[in-house]
């Protein structure tokens, strides 16, 4: 696997063992390639992770090996990487790492971390999100082009309800993510309610192309607005994260004028450093903004009052939530009722 190497990031040295271990057999990318990628985009991924509790998606033997999500900070983690104490829906809690410098990303790469999953909160207030994250998830029969059409309409919805601005990025697959920086005034439940309101408005405008149906059997060939990605402890891969697919794609931040012509497969571990060197972090100004959710929460209230549209199902591992509808797939419910 080769002798260990030492990499320097912003004045701190990180030791990388087995640098020649192949992590992506299809492309031949090694552990060292992964670490050097994260060095090249260090300012960008640190902007996405800074001071956020972060779950690590680890592949110690590369993308072809076994993987796991590491939520709890290991005891071996250096003391220069801070943590935040977070609580899960189950009531259990943990201390998660909160990157504050590029070397923390390298340290995680040393242990086979491909993808970083930051919470939408900062460590000084772990119960009030500062990002509204909209996940446009193509269902079977749809693709990236369908997600793009939904994203443009989403942009209009955001503008109309609170003059909100979203920053788009590829998911690393066929989908799109749009992040809106918000004031940390609302709870996870309220932010999720705003995401549901966005999804329903998008669904009204594009009924044949967009759905908020939680149950897969009801979605059809549409773009699913995954509102539950805003629930506590549900996270979305960060900008610049490498995704665990054979061709080593990355979640690529985009400008709105790039969205139509972008090809998600073009953004990968090999190509993103050149783009970053040329353009820098195209989402660098996100932290300069913090929008209000009041207009979206008013829309949610109108949906409930005027149309009887209340809450939607939570993920299966969640405890039953107040006001949540029956959490059983429609075909099964019909069978049980019959």
Measuring CA to CA, how many Å separate 151 from each of 161, 236, 293, 311? 15, 17, 19, 23
What's the pLDDT at 276?
98
d(CA 116, CA 245): 15
Q: Pairing state of beta strands 223-225 and 210-211?
A: parallel
What's the pLDDT at 1?
65
What's the pLDDT at 327?
86
d(CA 46, CA 240): 9
d(CA 169, CA 178): 6
Measuring CA to CA, how many Å separate 64 from each of 13, 57, 174? 29, 14, 21
d(CA 282, CA 276): 8
Low-confidence ranges of the chain (pLDDT < 70): 1, 333-338
| DSSP conformational letter for 39 | H
What's the pLDDT at 331?
78
What's the pLDDT at 333?
67
CB-CB neighbours of 95 under 10 Å:
15
Write the CB contacts of 205 (distance below 8 Å, at least 6 apart in sequence). Answer: 153, 157
Helices (H), ranges, 76-208? 102-110, 144-160, 188-205
Contact 29, 69 (CB under 8 A): no
Report the SS3 class of residue 331: helix
Q: Token pair 């072809």 is at which residue?
A: 64
d(CA 208, CA 231): 26
Whose CA is closest to 112, among 249, 252, 10, 244? 244
What's the pLDDT at 329?
83
Q: What is the pTM of this model?
A: 0.96
What's the pLDDT at 337?
55
């Amino acid at each position: 696997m080769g002798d260990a190497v030492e990499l320097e990031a912003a004045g701190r040295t990180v030791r990388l063992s087995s640098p020649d271990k192949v992590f992506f057999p299809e492309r031949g990318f090694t552990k060292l390639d992964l670490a050097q990628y994260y060095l090249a985009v260090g300012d960008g991924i640190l902007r996405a992770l800074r001071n956020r509790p972060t779950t690590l998606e680890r592949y110690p033997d590369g993308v072809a090996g076994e993987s796991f999500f590491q939520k709890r900070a290991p005891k071996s983690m250096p003391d220069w990487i801070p943590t935040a104490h977070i609580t899960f829906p189950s009531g259990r809690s943990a201390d998660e790492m909160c990157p504050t410098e590029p070397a923390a990303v390298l340290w995680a790469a040393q242990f086979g971390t491909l993808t970083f999953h930051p919470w939408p909160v900062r460590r000084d207030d772990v119960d009030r999100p500062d990002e509204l994250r909209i996940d446009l998830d193509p269902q079977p029969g749809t693709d990236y082009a369908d997600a793009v059409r939904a994203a443009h309409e989403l942009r209009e919805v955001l503008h109309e309800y609170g003059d909100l601005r979203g920053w788009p990025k590829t998911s690393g697959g066929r989908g799109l993510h749009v992040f809106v920086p918000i004031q940390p005034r609302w709870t996870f439940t309220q932010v999720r309610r705003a995401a549901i309101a966005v999804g329903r408005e998008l669904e009204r405008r594009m009924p044949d192309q967009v759905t908020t149906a939680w149950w897969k059997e009801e979605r059809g060939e549409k773009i699913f607005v995954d509102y539950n990605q805003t629930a506590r402890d549900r996270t979305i891969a960060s900008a610049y994260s490498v995704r665990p697919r054979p061709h080593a794609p990355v979640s690529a931040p985009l400008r709105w004028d790039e969205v139509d012509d972008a090809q998600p497969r073009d953004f990968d571990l090999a190509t993103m450093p050149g783009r970053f060197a040329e353009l820098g972090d195209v989402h660098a100004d996100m932290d300069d903004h913090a929008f209000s959710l009041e207009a979206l929460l008013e829309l949610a209230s109108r949906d409930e009052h005027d149309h009887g549209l209340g809450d939607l199902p939570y993920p299966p591992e969640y405890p039953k939530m107040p006001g949540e509808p029956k959490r059983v797939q429609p075909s099964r419910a019909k069978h049980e009722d019959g």
